[in-house]
A and B are shown apart, each in its own frame.
Chain A
Amino acid sequence: AQTVTQSQPEMSVQEAETVTLSCTYDTSESDYYLFWYKQPPSRQMILVIRQEAYKQQNATENRFSVNFQKAAKSFSLKISDSQLGDAAMYFCAYSRYNNDMRFGAGTRLTVKP
């Protein structure tokens, strides 16, 4: 079974600074998808960024970017110019097809003004 590990239960960053959240996963597959989801206090999960494993180029969405290391099975999220609204739980997720999305335990990010 695929597993997703987030080794940082909590992280803190100063407003306007950069923070990196770590994620590793275990799979024997070569074609899969990786995601970072954000869960603010409202509880509603929203997609932050997605990476397709066959693409070597790291995904970027505005201030959010990933460092995808396929051989190392590592998928970290970098948040640049952190804002107060970035404070949330962040979940890393792995999926091959829609019906097997697996999530890590999450990292709680605090942004200090």
Chain B
Amino acid sequence: GAGVSQSPSNKVTEKGKDVELRCDPISGHTALYWYRQSLGQGLEFLIYFQGNSAPDKSGLPSDRFSAERTGGSVSTLTIQRTQQEDSAVYLCASSPSLTGGRSGELFFGEGSRLTVL
């Protein structure tokens, strides 16, 4: 597709279960981001991938959260032993590589809504 694709769109799970959220960025975009959006809150930065560089994991809230990006394309965000406070919309975004350190537009997916019962 032409845009950022995320799956599943909605996920309901029981407390303590593991979940995987998938993001397929726009083809050719080298940068990929995960954000978390809780009800009534802004976007909380989680993790950032840029090409083959080591990811910036500074936003991950705990060691239950991890993410990988295979082949510089698809990314999976994994939450282990889910807790009720993990309930949120998880947004993925990608952007093309820009020269000179300029900041450009992020292209977002529609998000994955996670509900932990």
Chain B 51-86 per-residue mask, 1 if CB under 8 angstroms from chain A, else 0: 000001000000000000000000000000000000
- Asked if B101 contacts A44 (CB within 8 A), the reply is no
Number of residues on chain B facing chain A (CB within 8 A): 27
A55-63, A65-73, A76-84, A98-106 - the one binding chain B: A98-106
Q: List 20 A-B contacts (CB under 8 A).
A: A4-B42, A6-B42, A37-B108, A43-B89, A43-B110, A46-B108, A47-B105, A95-B103, A96-B101, A96-B103, A97-B103, A98-B48, A98-B98, A99-B50, A101-B45, A102-B45, A103-B43, A105-B40, A106-B41, A106-B42
Residue among A33, A103, A105 with max Cβ neighbours from chain B (10 Å): A103
Which residues does B use to contact A, with CB under 8 Å?
3, 31, 33, 35, 40-43, 45, 48, 50, 56, 89, 91, 93, 95, 98, 101-106, 108-111
Residues of B within 8 A of A35 (CB): 105
Q: Which B residue sits closest to A35, measured CB to CB?
A: B105
* A-B pairs with lowest CB-CB distance, top 9: A45-B108, A103-B43, A105-B42, A33-B103, A95-B103, A103-B42, A99-B48, A44-B110, A43-B111
- Asked if B45 contacts A44 (CB within 8 A), the reply is no
Which residues does A use to contact B, with CB under 8 Å?
4, 6, 9, 32-33, 35, 37, 42-47, 50, 91, 95-106
Residues of A within 8 A of B42 (CB): 4, 6, 91, 103-106
Which residue of the partner chain, among A32, A96, A105, contacts B41 with CB atoms under 8 Å? Answer: A105
- Asked if A99 contacts B31 (CB within 8 A), the reply is yes
A61 to chain B, nearest CB (A): 12
Given A33-B103, A105-B42, 6 further pairs, Cβ under 8 A: A9-B40, A44-B108, A97-B103, A98-B31, A99-B33, A101-B106
Residues of A within 8 A of B106 (CB): 45, 47, 98, 101
Residues of B within 8 A of A95 (CB): 103
Residues of A within 8 A of B50 (CB): 98-99
User: CA–CA, A6 to B25, complex, Å?
Assistant: 29
